[in-house]
Amino acid sequence: MDRDRWLREGLNTLYESGIGRVKIEGLARRLRVTKGSFYWHFKKREDLLRAMIDFWKDAQLGLIKEMENSRITDPKLRLEELMAFIHSKDSSHDIGVRAWARTNPHAATAVRDVDRKRMAYVESVFSKLGFDAFESQLRARTLYFYQVGEHTSSIRDSAKLRDKLARSRFDWLVKKDR
């Protein structure tokens, strides 16, 4: 059993049941391994919890780095790529870490760092589309806050409506004459 599986399962449990349910014995049972496997990778539960935050943050920053290094140079296509990724992304770990960040300073710092980096990337895309700094910031926030809100809201739209909204959102965000 590798360390990453423990971390992913911890994040899955965080999302499904909250931080209070992220316990060594429960995770071992879910993973169908002994608790000894846990101690091969972590000294105690607190080490797992800290590593879960770092694992999530590193994954998120890695995704941003991949997008920044994309071979796509056309900013409109880059925005389409970003929005398609957001549209298809499983945000359960994001939701779990965000909820946990309300009570955990390390998680709060990680969320803040990821939010800033994501926002800077999205702003840069809008800037490359020819929007000034304020318009780029406004559009980046509109897109980003929509995405976070969509995934944390209890509203569950059909796939058809989500697709239609995503296409309209893209058209609306790139339109310059408002």
- pLDDT tens-digit series, residues 71-94: 888 999 999 888 888 877 778 899
Of the candidates 4, 35, 22, the residue with the CA atom closest to the CA atom of residue 107: 22
CB of 11 closer than 8 Å to CB of 21: no
pTM for the whole structure: 0.89
Contact residues for 1 (Cβ-Cβ < 8 A; gap 6+): 31, 33, 37, 40
> Domains plus CATH for the chain?
52-174 (1.10.357)
CB of 21 closer than 8 Å to CB of 13: yes
Of the candidates 121, 123, 5, 17, the residue with the CA atom closest to the CA atom of residue 68: 121
- pLDDT tens-digit series, residues 31-66: 999 999 999 999 999 999 999 999 999 999 998 999
CB of 81 closer than 8 Å to CB of 70: yes
